[in-house]
Structure 1
Amino acid sequence: MKRFVEGTARGQSTLFPECLEDWIGEDNPVRVIDVFVDELDLAELGFDGVAPEVTGRPAYHPSVLLKLYIYGYLNRVQSSRRLEREAGRNVEAMWLTGRLVPDHKTIADFRKDNGGAIRQVCARFIALCRVMGLLTDPSVAIDGSKFKAVNNRDKNFTRAKMERRMAQIEESVARYLQQLDTADRHEPSEALQSKTNRLKDKIAKLREQMQNLGELRAQMLAAPDQQISLTDPDSRSMATSGRGSGVVGYNVQVAVETKHHLIITHEVTNVGTDRSQLSTMAKAAKATLGVESLDAVADRGYFSSEEILACEDAGITVTLPKPMTSGIIAKGRFGKQDFRYVAEQDVYICPAGESLPYRYTNEEHGMLLRRYWTNACQGCAIKQTCTSGKERRITRWEHEHVLEAVQRRLDEHPEKMRQRRETVEHPFGTIKARMGATHFLMKTLPRVASEMALHVLAYNMTRAMSIMGVRPLMAAIRV
């Protein structure tokens, strides 16, 4: 006869283990957290309260709160109130904290007041991974992703949003005024008077909103980027990959090692584009790995001539595609890539076989640009597929050979773009899944950076345990 699995009756007496240690297996990840934090010099890292005060109520040691936070971020529990509940009911959390149950205010203040030290803990674990031999491949993938801030989209204002909102209010006021004029033409009645009063209240509220928007508009125009956020002042409206979509939040940059997919370095910014981030992230990854040279791969959003040159000067070999921003190809005409440069003669060869010699050099936006063209375009048989002007002119940057080397590397190794996706997009997906729909819980850039450091630490710790196993990782930490 088939039966269901039956549990123990709630009223039945049982003999639980006498100590918490019996509940925690030897391969439980909380043991890694415990060993890792115990091996840290928290005073050197900058944590407050390492030495107890002589007077006053005894405080919780920073190691207890740090262990609780790392455990929470490993298990998708980031809220201080939820961590307080876990400390009182979760056997693993009880074992980790010695059955201490800090209140949520104490837990929240620890994360808020020790942001710099928490970021140092994240960096210390990466240094530990390097010592353990997990970062032997001098190759990284760099990418950025937008993370939601606490700030609602309706609490963020740009010039376009402000103008659109003001136009909507003016349209509503005009519509209500027209309804009032219509009401005045009817015979007075109690229902009509009630409707008139409602319309007047709506108009008064809209005019009050318009006045408030006028004050916000002055603040917005005074801001450096002409944008303000009311809830989290450091968050910014940023475009995302979806057409017509956007998010009010932060742009998180990461450099991920290509072999074990560990996050080498990360940075939280409120700049909506990646174009100026390449050299900064690549240099930070190179310094963290402690190598003489580094291979870095990124997507087309990072393409910047100055950034690529800075990487070249720092001994960093970058591979990334160039965005096709010119509309000339869409018009069915030859692009610059169809012209071949001959370095020995300093000329370009056009698709028709004509030579475009060097003419002069000028400076634009701090860049020295060399100009090339020929006078043979007027009689060319394929001129219509090349240019609509008098002649086709080609511009060459003084360091164009660096960009050409990047393109050659991409042509020779197109698989690097697939490697980039497989390397760097998985960490972002994992971290966002752990965060949930709300993403960041804290406000302002420094505190958001501290929160992101905990997410990165939890991700790297999970990866290290997956690669090495819990016991070998614990043994390596104790060395």
Structure 2
Amino acid sequence: MVFIQSSKNQTWLLPPDIREIISSDHICYLVDSFVEELDFTDFELRYAGAGHPAYHPRILCKILIQAMIDGIRSSRAIARCARENVVYMYLAEKLIPDFRTISDFRMNNGSLIRNIFKNTIYAAREVGAVGLGQLSIDGSVVKAFASNNSTVTKNELGVIDDYIDQMLKEITITDELEDKQLHQCRGYDQLDSTSKSRVKSICKKYADKFQNSEQKKNLRCIKNLKKAKDESIIDNVEKFSLTDPESRFIKNKKGRIELGYNTQLTVDHKKGIIIANDVCQDRNDVHQLKPQLELVEQYCGQLKESTKICADSGYMSEKNIQLLMQKNLDPYIPERTDKNNIKKVQKRKNGSIIHASFFTYDEQRDVYVCPENQILKLYYEFYDKRRSLTRRVYKGISCRGCKSNQQCTNRKDKTRQLQVNCLSNDRKCLKEKMSTVEAQRIFEERKYTVEPVIGNYKQNLKFREFSTRGLNSVKNEFNLMCAAINLKKLWLHKECK
């Protein structure tokens, strides 16, 4: 067999252009042209004047977007790609930014990253990939970059805070003694203020080497502890994380309660473009419909009347329905159903207990009538915070002597009770509409729009856990992810043409 001859030690007479090595239809060219059209005037004004030259923000934006497309989120891995990967060499324009530069840029430039995401929406609208005829909203829990074990309660936080105050007093006294010792040193008084601060910082570095390592560890935690104390004032939470105080304990789809953030998406049905995204600390989605609609109108303008809005039962509430009706939008949101209640309903319909659907409501007398023609009168009503609605309880008045008592109730007092939701007229109309075949078909289209987007970034791009800490930082990271997904869809849309 004859092998193809290689030229391992052969040098190039003329160095090749990097673009000759990269495929002509690679997505990096779309990333390059997209970022080149962004406005970096604010950065150019900020870095004008004397000082060490900085990396242009377009270079860092290019490699960050390409890294998100490739599922790379570690700043060290991105810096390594800029050294070793020809695609990243091309986007970085043959520069090699440090991993700290990449990490700090991603953390400190939230407005620019948000504008990158907005520009992907504008680009999609220009090529006709956004229709705004039907939108789907959904949320998903993404794990925070924090351990469930490094948490403290409110009481523990108060004790630690007192301990830190005492420690800071001791450190202040130590600093005063060090200042006195420095003043006694020969030549210290002749130095200017800049030289004095430099000498003081160098002396502090040498002094830190002799400090107890545990004490230094505690000093590094002071910032997070203070942040956790602020979070306890803002949000009434029993437990806080020391590594990421802004994260919250949220139940994920597997039923496990872990530290994380609630990510929100609004996806257009035409080509699956993300037109709004956000990250919040809420444990559920019920309060996130309004912020998502506001972001959609901010990025895409006022929505047309009768625009279809699809969301799961987690967004169902009276306020959300009123908001959609005021905007003349067409909602498709089912009522909340508890999974445990569904199992109970299936069990009762099999014959063990008479199901509530066999009871008829008499609107004139405001009573329920059971299959044995016995009456259930209004007992009391209450507000269910979890479902965000008022519920009414009806109680039987002559259940003890009924021949079907054993099949009707398991209560000790042998009386049947029914819990009924008090729905507004708009909510009743929506419930009736959702029972139709057409509404169910429209609602099922969520499975082919917003849910695949979530599955894509969690399964394919491995975005199950944030790599940064703090609400603002994770928002920047999620905006980059959504911008990368939109650019990938635009690239596929272009390839299809």
Do Structure 1 and Structure 2 share a fold, with TM-score over 0.5?
yes
Aligned equivalent of 1:62? 57
What is the one-letter code of the residue matched to 1:239? K
- 1:91 correspondence with 2:86: yes
The 5 A counterparts of 1:42-441 are: 42-43=40-41, 48-50=43-45, 52-157=47-152, 224-243=236-255, 245-282=256-293, 284-285=295-296, 288-289=299-300, 290-314=303-327, 315-324=329-338, 329=345, 332-333=352-353, 337-338=357-358, 350=369, 352=371, 364=383, 395=420, 397=422, 399-412=424-437, 413-416=439-442, 418-433=444-459, 435-436=461-462, 439-441=465-467
Q: Distance in 2 between matches of 1:274 and 1:61?
A: 39
Q: Distance in 2 between matches of 1:337 and 1:269?
A: 39
What is the one-letter code of the residue matched to 1:352? P
SS of residue paired to 2:449: helix
SS of residue paired to 1:57: coil
Q: Distance in 2 between matches of 1:16 and 1:101?
A: 23
Q: Distance in 1 between matches of 2:355 and 2:290?
A: 28
2:368 touches 2:394 (CA, 8 Å); kept in 1?
A: no
Q: Distance in 1 between matches of 2:94 and 2:38?
A: 21
1:236 deviates by: 1.6
Aligned equivalent of 1:463? 489
Alpha carbons of structure 1 residues 394 and 426: separation in structure 2 relative to 1, 3 Å: closer
SS of residue paired to 2:149: helix
Q: What TM-score do the two structures reach when normalised by structure 1?
A: 0.72
The CA deviation string for residues 82-141 of structure 1, in whole angstroms up to 9 with x for no partner, is: 222222332222222321222222222211111122112102211321232111152222
Alpha carbons of structure 1 residues 442 and 371: separation in structure 2 relative to 1, 3 Å: closer
Higher mean alpha-carbon deviation, 435-444 vs 359-368, is at: 359-368
Aligned equivalent of 1:166? none
1:25 deviates by: 4.2
Q: Distance in 1 between matches of 2:131 and 2:87?
A: 34
Alpha carbons of structure 1 residues 130 and 410: separation in structure 2 relative to 1, 3 Å: farther
SS of residue paired to 2:25: coil
Q: Distance in 1 between matches of 2:465 and 2:285?
A: 20
Give aligned-pair identity as a percent.
26
The answer for unaligned runs of 5 or more in structure 2 is 158-213, 215-220
Higher mean alpha-carbon deviation, 17-26 vs 349-358, is at: 349-358
2:131 touches 2:268 (CA, 8 Å); kept in 1?
A: no
Q: Distance in 1 between matches of 2:83 and 2:366?
A: 75
2:308 touches 2:330 (CA, 8 Å); kept in 1?
A: yes
Alpha carbons of structure 1 residues 361 and 237: separation in structure 2 relative to 1, 3 Å: closer
Alpha carbons of structure 1 residues 151 and 354: separation in structure 2 relative to 1, 3 Å: same
Alpha carbons of structure 1 residues 157 and 311: separation in structure 2 relative to 1, 3 Å: farther
What is the one-letter code of the residue matched to 1:66? C
SS of residue paired to 1:153: coil
Q: What TM-score do the two structures reach when normalised by structure 2?
A: 0.69
Alpha carbons of structure 1 residues 30 and 396: separation in structure 2 relative to 1, 3 Å: closer
Q: Distance in 2 between matches of 1:280 and 1:406?
A: 24
2:131 touches 2:269 (CA, 8 Å); kept in 1?
A: no
Q: Distance in 2 between matches of 1:285 and 1:334?
A: 47
Q: Distance in 2 between matches of 1:136 and 1:353?
A: 55
Q: Distance in 2 between matches of 1:127 and 1:383?
A: 65
Alpha carbons of structure 1 residues 357 and 29: separation in structure 2 relative to 1, 3 Å: same
2:135 touches 2:308 (CA, 8 Å); kept in 1?
A: yes
The size of the alignment, in residue pairs, is 413
Q: Distance in 1 between matches of 2:146 and 2:372?
A: 58
Higher mean alpha-carbon deviation, 454-463 vs 67-76, is at: 67-76
